[in-house]
Amino acid sequence: MIIPDPTPLIGPSLVFLDFAGMAVFAATGALAGARLRQDLVTIAFFAAVTGVGGGTLRDLLIGAPVFWVHDWRYVAVATATAIVVWFVGGKGWRLTALLWLDAVGLAAYGVIGAAKAMAYGVPPLICIVMGALTACFGGVVRDLLAGQPSILLHREITVTAALLGATTFVALRLVDVPTMFASAIAFSAGFGLRAGALAWGWSLPAFSTGQPETPTQPS
């Protein structure tokens, strides 16, 4: 089978970022399976679903061929990543690795999702939405499968980081900044925001009803 070449669609720099984002998101899925002490097949399934989940939703919404169905390399990358996690995923660093890899994945897929939507002629605002969906949906599926509260429900900045990366990329491309530079700047912006949230606990203000909170009774 001939592998479709995605380079003309999104450019060589974004092809690299696409596979890198796929690998790190797959790693977060594999690490989630490892934390549940699952077998290798289940861990590989977690990796694949997490890696392709956001991109699958994006492609269905913008009317594009679902990327991993037509290019076996994506599933191969997810499987290889699961095998690596199986052999080197020591208990002491799993949670930390999952959080930081998730940060890389959010930034990378925020850019990739927006770029692919732009390549299909989607309006700029919807390109930004597609970037956020691409970046976040795989993690939502991962957390659902793992029976964990979704990372989107934490007050730490997550979706906002993906939105920042996607918005930055779309804005730069609209003023004709070359794809390589636009993707690098956008990735750095999205990752930097998420990294700050992880390192210093940044969060957006929570909704307030104006009523004092009821003190929590000791158990």
- Mean pLDDT over the full length of the chain: 86
Looking at residue 39, what is its pLDDT?
94
In a domain, 213, yes or no: no
What does 146-182 look like in DSSP terms, one character per residue?
HT---GGGSSBSSHHHHHHHHHHHHHHHHTT--HHHH
Among 66-75, 90-99, 165-174, 183-192, the range scoring the smallest mean pLDDT is 90-99
On whether residue 21 sits in a domain, the answer given is: yes
Confidence band for 4, pLDDT divided at 50, 70 and 90: low
pLDDT digits (tens, 9 = 90+) for 16-69: 888 988 998 999 899 889 888 899 999 999 999 999 999 999 999 999 999 999
pLDDT of residue 218: 41
Q: Nearest CA to 132 among 160, 104, 151, 170?
A: 160
The reported pLDDT for the residue numbered 205 is 82
In a domain, 164, yes or no: yes
Contact 124, 174 (CB under 8 A): yes
Nearest-10 crossing angle of helices 12-35, 73-88: 40
Taking residues 71-97, report their average pLDDT.
Answer: 83
Domain count, the chain: 1
**Closest CA relative to residue 49, chosen from 73, 74, 72:** 74
Structural domain includes residue 107 = yes
Residue with tokens 């590989």: 44
Task: Name the percent of the chain lying above pLDDT 90.
Answer: 55
Nearest to 170 by CA among 111, 109, 106: 111
* 2 found inside a domain: no
Only one residue has tokens 């999952």, namely 98
The domain containing residue 153 runs over which residues? 7-198
Distance of alpha carbon 73 from the chain centroid: 18
Q: What is the pLDDT of residues 107-117, one digit of tens each?
A: 999 999 999 99
Q: Please report which confidence band the pLDDT of residue 202 belongs to, taking 50, 70 and 90 as the band edges.
A: confident
Instruction: Give pTM, 2 decimals.
Output: 0.85
Q: Does residue 208 form part of some domain?
A: no
Q: Is residue 109 part of a domain?
A: yes
Residue 32 domain-assigned (yes or no):
yes
> What confidence category does residue 96 fall into, taking pLDDT thresholds of 50, 70 and 90?
confident
Q: Determine the pLDDT at residue 3.
A: 46
At residue 212, the pLDDT reads 60
Per-residue pLDDT tens digits for 178-201:
999 999 999 999 999 999 988 988
